[in-house]
Amino acid sequence: MGKIETSPFSQAARTVEELLARSAVYHALSVLLRHPGAETVKWLVAREHHRLPEVLGRLGDDGRLLELAGRLMKMLDTTTLPDLTRQHERIFGHTVQGTAPPYELEYGEEHSHRQPQELSDIAAFYTAFGLQVAARAHERVDHIGTECEFLHYLLYKQACAADEEAAEQAQVCEEAGRRFLADHLGRWGPAFALRLTRSAEGEGLAAVGAFLLEWLSQECARMGVPLGSCDLPLRSPKEQEAVGCAACALQRGKPGDGC
């Protein structure tokens, strides 16, 4: 008997399925890493968190990430929205630099000139795909939830392009995603995830941090980019004002608006 080969059609369908699965994971992270609100309620009521094992199964995961997804599901099933809100406010606080700052520009070496440049670079990724950060979001372009939402959108767009056999458009999305992961989320996300896991020890958000760290590890390996250090230092408080001013100038609208 000859070797059974996968048809081009099934390979294409598999590619689209995997892209949509990765997009769904980023969407879940974007919801869980923002301050709980109406979108969080909608997502939980729809029991979207119970789809995570199925979604990960499409990516062939049957190990560590699936185990962490199970813990995450259990946490969300046993934590009330007010409790989740209190955890967010305790860990992230009402200032830019709490115990686990959710902003990219809070991590890394101190170079004041890099702040407006890096914020502009992040915003440029969004703008290139017709996205902005909505004024009503009152959030910086470098927020962890916003960066996850951008990759959610980018992978969904790539899946649509692949499904329509628009190879050039799919390639543009893939390359943008790889660059964004390498230059931004994959670089500082691991340090944030570890800080979140430690800061929320014994609380529900620790499950989110652990899942995020493993997810980024797998994503960077999948995309062939280096995983950032978990030991990135936080910038000094003296730089906070400069970053805040630069961020205000770039604050526009939220990825997803108008898509």
Domain total for the chain?
A: 1
- If 0-12 CB within 10 Å is exposed, 13-18 middle and 19+ buried, where does residue 166 land? middle
For residue 254, the model assigns a pLDDT of 45
The answer as to whether 76 is a domain residue is: yes
For residue 4, the model assigns a pLDDT of 46
The answer as to whether 243 is a domain residue is: yes
For residue 17, the model assigns a pLDDT of 95
- What's the average model confidence in pLDDT over 118-135? 87
Per-residue pLDDT reduced to its tens digit, 160-218: 999 999 999 999 999 999 999 999 999 999 999 999 999 998 899 999 999 999 999 99
CATH number at residue 217: 1.10.3480
* Residue-number span of the structural domain to which 74 is assigned: 8-93+109-250
The answer as to whether 257 is a domain residue is: no
Q: Helix, strand or coil for residue 134?
A: strand
pLDDT at 258 over 50: no
95: DSSP letter: S
Decide which of 1 and 47 is more confident. Answer: 47
Per-residue pLDDT reduced to its tens digit, 2-40: 444 445 558 888 999 999 999 999 999 999 999 999 999
Q: Worst-scoring range by mean pLDDT, 63-72, 73-82, 146-155, 248-257?
A: 248-257
pLDDT at 95 over 70: no
Residue 131 neighbours by CB under 8 Å, 6+ apart: 150, 153, 253, 254, 255, 256, 257, 258, 259
How does residue 235 score in pLDDT terms, banded at 50, 70 and 90? confident
Measured from the Cβ of residue 187, the count of other Cβ atoms closer than 10 Å reads 22
For residue 108, the model assigns a pLDDT of 82
The answer as to whether 146 is a domain residue is: yes
pLDDT at 240 over 60: no
Q: How high does pLDDT run on average in the chain? A: 86
How does residue 61 score in pLDDT terms, banded at 50, 70 and 90? confident
**How far apart (Å, rounded) are the C-alpha atoms in residues 93 and 190?**
20
The answer as to whether 258 is a domain residue is: no
The answer as to whether 259 is a domain residue is: no
